[in-house]
Amino acid sequence: MTGLDPGGARVCDGGVRLPAGLVAAALAMETVPGAACLADVEETPACLIQEHAPDTPHYGLVLDLDGILSGAVWAVWSPGGAPHLVVLPDCPGDGEQSCSGFAAHPGLHTSALWDLRQAHARAVFAAATHP
């Protein structure tokens, strides 16, 4: 539509609310005692991966674990289903683009997806202010 969306890639952005038990469980996965508190746990994670088929699971970042190679806690849920938690290693990116995703995630790296989202937001704003 705007020419700013090569390949039509978008962030999925499906969301879920974690039950209190999972919030506590995520905090308990912190490997360094005292490194995280309840406020660090994302209770309503949004899916961070590229838009995917409706029958494949969503992945939302819940808690970044302290340490360089410790990975992060992710919520995984099927559309309409209850979430569960997994610890996944961090995506190394591709050398040019950093990534907030998990290793071997499907789709584009998050920095590429966010660039596209910002370009889309700018296009919407431009269209709204210059009809």
Could you list the residues that contact Zn ion (CB under 5 A)?
A: 12, 14, 47, 58, 91, 99, 101, 109
Q: Would the CA dihedral through 45, 89, 79, 5 be positive or negative?
A: positive
**H helix intervals, 1-131:** 20-28, 110-129
Q: How near is the Cβ of 34 to Zn ion at its closest, in Å?
A: 29
Q: How far is the CB of 64 from Zn ion (least distance, A)?
A: 14
Nearer to Zn ion, 27 or 97 (CB): 97
Identity of the residue, 2 or 56, whose beta carbon is nearer to Zn ion in the bound complex: 56
Amino acid type, 130: H
From the number of C-beta atoms within 10 Å of its C-beta (0-12, 13-18, 19+), residue 113 rates as buried
Tell me how far, at minimum, the Cβ of 5 lies from Zn ion, in Å.
18
Of 5 and 35, the one with the shorter C-beta distance to Zn ion is: 5
